[in-house]
Amino acid sequence: MKSFFAVLHGIWTQLRSIGMIFMHSFRPRDVILYPEVKPPVPPRYRGRIVLTRDPDGDERCVACNLCSVACPVGCISLQKAERPEDGRWYPEFFRINFSRCMFCGLCEEACPTNAIQLTPDYELCEYDRQNLVYEKEHLLISGVGKYHDYNFYRVAGMAIKGKGKGEALNESAPIDIKSLLP
């Protein structure tokens, strides 16, 4: 008798799960038709890496190599150079191998000048692997990215042409260490 009810209960549970699955016919689909419909991407999504410019239009990167050091897979390489006309540092070349990049965002966190930033663009496919090696002309954008007012040379103590020591934002004038006067 007990096993008879067990059989009945088993039949009931099977029918119930069949009914529950059938009710899925009337639910909205959980997937989207990707190439036609793009998925919603949050603004801080870690996608394609760009190099941004400061509000004045000069490139932000000072070629400190911190991103290259922070990169766990070692996909960033760059070479420092100095602009002779105003003394600003800039990368002579800046190369990211996107076939290695794993979009961890550590370069963005390491960057002291907010130059390197990750964007919500995720469509990076190429037919040729070599095309995934991005040079500086592919990386550098004309905008400021996520930080609209930040200009490294305006707040940093480094002297360049047109801005001497002590002229930066919130920077006091340099102390003459040779003098005894206060």
Q: Which residues bind another protein (CB under 8 A)?
A: 7, 14, 17-18, 20-22, 24-25, 27-31, 33
Closer CB to another protein, residue 7 or residue 169?
A: 7
Residue closer to another protein, measured from CB, 26 or 177: 26
Query: Whole-number minimum distance, CB 56 to another protein, in Å?
Result: 49
Q: How far is the CB of 125 from another protein (least distance, A)?
A: 18
**Measured CA angle at 76 (ends 106, 51), to 5 deg:** 75
We find the least distance from the C-beta atom of residue 18 to another protein, in angstroms, to be 4
**Closer to another protein by Cβ: residue 21 or 181:** 21
Type of residue found at 110? A
Asked if residue 42 lies in contact with residue 116, where contact means CB atoms within 8 angstroms, the answer is: no
Separation CA 24–CA 153 (nearest Å): 59
Quote the CA–CA distance of 44 and 122 in Å, as a whole number.
12
